[in-house]
Amino acid sequence: MAATPTPVPVAPPGRRRHFRNFWARVTEGRGLEQLGSQLVSDAKASYALYSKDVDWEEVARGARGPRRVWRSMWALFQAMLMKLTPARRVLLLLAIALILIQPSVRWGDEREFSFNLVGIGIAILFLLLAVELADRVTMKRDLEIAREIQQWLVPDHPPDVRGVDIAFATRPQNTVAGDYYDAFLRPTQEPDTSRLLVAVADVAGKSVPAALLMATFQASLRALAATPATLDEIVVGLDRYCRAHSLEGRRFTTAFLAQIDPKTREMIYVNAGHNDPILRRASGQIERLPIGGPPFGIPLFTDGPIAYASASVQLAAGDLLFIFTDGVVEAVNDTEEEFGEARLLPLIQNSRPESSDATLGRVMAEVNAFVGYARQHDDITCLVLRVSA
């Protein structure tokens, strides 16, 4: 007679639904492959952070095999330990000692009372985790406020200019960015006329320091553009300001500025050490726009203004101007391979007759697909301007 199989306990449907909802909240809908890729990226970024504080020559000196591995682990642990405050360092060391040594406490006979202190060590680790998370949440909230302020400084929609279709997008490496883009109409000395000013800039560095300088750069550009100054005079004023606030050149700014006459479609531009924008003619021919000078804020051995060159380009119907920061071409995937201009140029050259939004979306989608789940290393900003009939 065959044995009756033992039934496998099955969780009630309600409990399974609650677990699925909980798991969806924890993972934010990501699959295991995505979570694994993100974990690898986070581990690489953490290793890069801590390894910068390790003297690897000292670690390797006179150590081989297992001893070298042990010294490397010890050096990384010390680098991580020193990122904490002194009080938290002591707590972490105490928790590790309690877990590894596993001491126990007894009162009287063993049968009366005895307990192990490992649980206390684990509790201390959870306490440290809670304190660190509290700091992170507080900082994240402050950064979110800073991001909202930064978003006020850049346009949320392009200006309405007849015959010109503009689209832009930015993706910070962190919550706030050092990239800047703008497009607005500025008055001229002629009555009832205006010029379209387009700008894309990239402050050296990332996160809060770069974002603060980006805000001052935006304020300077807007203030200068509100005057009757020519584009050349605006560029000189921006460089003077950046040189006075560049922290001896450590916080220079690359920028591309262009002024377009909506009636004649003549564009005058200055490239201050920025990635050369791509001008795709209606015929499919590619032109680059390199004329200008060094980045703003570079300390030079002169007290006078730097002579930035400017150039004039005649735009025509069907032309497309693509301005970008180095975060686009320097985006890397899991194998540390860069996206590069070799991938970007064909995307622009083979651009179909489409809106600027469509071109921008296509380029950003290609960059995202190339990068995958690798951690973003730099701010990414693009501005697309298409001339219509």
Residue boundaries of the structural domains of the chain: 18-147, 155-387
pLDDT of residue 61: 77
pLDDT of residue 245: 75
pLDDT tens column, 56-94 = 888 777 677 788 888 888 888 888 888 888 889 998 999
Please say whether the structural domain 155-387 has been given the CATH code 3.40.50.300.
Answer: no
Q: Give the whole-angstrom CA distance, residue 202 versus residue 224.
A: 19
Flag whether pLDDT at 1 surpasses 60.
no
pLDDT tens column, 104-159 = 666 655 555 556 778 888 899 999 999 888 888 887 777 777 777 767 777 888 88
Flag whether pLDDT at 45 surpasses 90.
no
203 closest CA partner among 298, 135, 137, 117: 298
Flag whether pLDDT at 241 surpasses 80.
yes
Q: Which residues pair with 64 in a beta bridge?
A: none
pLDDT band per the 50, 70, 90 thresholds, residue 302: low
pLDDT of residue 384: 95
pLDDT tens column, 304-359 = 677 899 999 999 999 999 999 998 999 888 788 899 999 999 999 887 788 899 99
User: pTM surpassing 0.85?
Assistant: no
- DSSP string for 126-138: HHHHHHHHHHHHH
pLDDT tens column, 257-300 = 999 999 999 999 999 999 999 999 998 899 999 999 999 988 76
Flag whether pLDDT at 184 surpasses 70.
yes
pLDDT of residue 255: 94
Q: In sequence order, what are the residues at sequence separation of 6 or more whose Cβ sits closer than 8 angstroms to the Cβ of residue 43?
A: none
pLDDT of residue 65: 76
Flag whether pLDDT at 38 surpasses 80.
no
Across all residues in the chain, what is the average pLDDT? Answer: 83
More confident residue, 351 or 227: 227
Q: Give the whole-angstrom CA distance, residue 39 versus residue 27.
A: 12
372 close to 38: Cβ distance less than 8 angstroms: no
pLDDT of residue 288: 95
β-pairing, 194-203 vs 179-187, is: antiparallel
Segment among 2-16, 146-160, 204-218 with least mean pLDDT: 2-16
Flag whether pLDDT at 182 surpasses 90.
yes
